[in-house]
Amino acid sequence: MIHPGALSIALSVLHLLVAIAISFRVIMRKPPVGVALAWLFLVAAVPLAGVGFYLLVGERRVGQRRARKIARLRIDYERLAELAITEGLTDVDWTTHRREAAAMDRLGVSQVGVPTVSGSRVELLKDADSILRGIAADIDQARNSVLMEFYIWNQGGAAELVFEALKRAAQRGVSCRLLVDSVGGRPWWKGPQPAELRKAGVLCRPALKAGLWRTIFARNDLRLHRKIVVVDGEVAWTGSMNLVDPKFFKQDADVGQWVDAMLRLQGAAVSPLAMTMIGDWMLETDESVDEIIRCAELRMVEREGTGDIQVIPSGPSETDDGLLQMLLALINSAHDELVLTTPYFVPDDSMVRAIRGAAGRGVKVHLVVPNRVDSTLTHFASRSYYDELLEVGVQIYLYDQGLLHTKSVTADGDMAMFGTVNLDMRSLWLNYEVSLFLYGQDLTGPVRELQGSYIDASKRLDPAEWTNRSLRERFLENVLRLIGPVL
């Protein structure tokens, strides 16, 4: 029989050794100083539980197998980028843009490895019914391939048009591949539609499967948050909207219908969007890039239109902080006006400082967020940032005609970010996202006009009224701010 004193000593020694090992790991990974000190304190103060919590959410672990695949994927991206350069798609005339645009292009190449492509035509759609009908119509025109990935697919309404179009495409011999996130799309995966699609010939895979066993090797809360459709390598869709009809989606959340926008693209920008989806498919399967290109009969696209677009995919182990660097550069490029729309505003410190700095140097900064969101925790965490923004003159608008879900940033009306990334730490550090950086007034103008319609439908937050909220609310906001990275 083990003596209680000896057991206590053994557990203390075990905790000390594990705490030292974890502390060494934290120090060697060089996180921000405040983050590192918080983890060191937690690991030392809370026996074993602190260690367990660190192993659960302290690192962006993707798992060794996925990390190896991502490393191989970079080689395929480089090979396809060389093909694009050969075709002249990256020959952008930067003299037609302001100096900051060329600098952002260089930043994207150095941080993410993706250059701007020239020769795209873009159409902005802001009505869910038109978006879903448009996607279905494009799929019905498919001759060779359909590539699709979404965070959420939800049955009902006009989403059924896309479902039926995808079935018809596969039945007539079109190569169809579909990824839907395993957690975001969990209700859909449990329903009958995946089996129906597979029966029709669609290759369907859940992305980033979650489970207790997976927790041992990788984080369970890394999510595929991208929304991409590519048809025949000639037409692509991306933006903030999941494959849902808002009239049939989360109607019990008391936030109104979700308000989204999507871009329909033709020309040069289709290729990097297709490669982003193909890369995700390769990570979930054992197919090679050559096999996918052969089956889907994909080819390098021709120039169509004059738009210059940089497609920036991001995610753990893929791009590190490349997307954040691009967003900071866009914010810092603003001279006169900066407009940001996002459903979830829980930014990291560098983004808060950049936005405050823009307002401080005289830029008119407008932040548009929904008045109600589907997460109470995120709602209060977001509010914790309002004081420091209002005090430097940032104008905050609360949109109350539904859950504003569009993710966009425009600088001076001639450069923009439009895509899937929320301005929160989850999107920046934990989710797999795709963002389009649009250069020039022709592409940015429609996005700025859309932002203006959101502002017109919002109520501006009054600084005087805001300061009168209760101490309880302030305390709750600041407490939830501390867990912002995992909301």
Catalytic residues: 225, 227, 232, 405, 407, 412
Closest by Cα among 57, 62, 63 to 42: 57
What gap in Å lies between CA 188 and CA 155, rounded to an integer?
7
Which residues on neighbouring strands pair with residue 150, listed in sequence order? 180
What gap in Å lies between CA 56 and CA 370, rounded to an integer?
31
Do the Cβ atoms of 365 and 358 come closer than 8 Å?
Answer: yes
What does the DSSP assignment read for 105-172?
HHHHHHHTS---EEEEEEEEE--HHHHHHHHHHHHHT-SSEEEEEES-B--STTHHHHHHHHHHHHHT
Do the Cβ atoms of 384 and 480 come closer than 8 Å?
Answer: yes
Do the Cβ atoms of 171 and 200 come closer than 8 Å?
Answer: yes
First to last CA, the chain: 46
Estimate to the nearest angstrom the gap between the alpha carbon of 58 and the chain centroid: 20
For residue 481, give the 3-state DSSP assignment: helix
- Using CB atoms within 10 Å of the CB of residue 93, give its burial: 0 to 12 exposed, 13 to 18 middle, 19+ buried: exposed
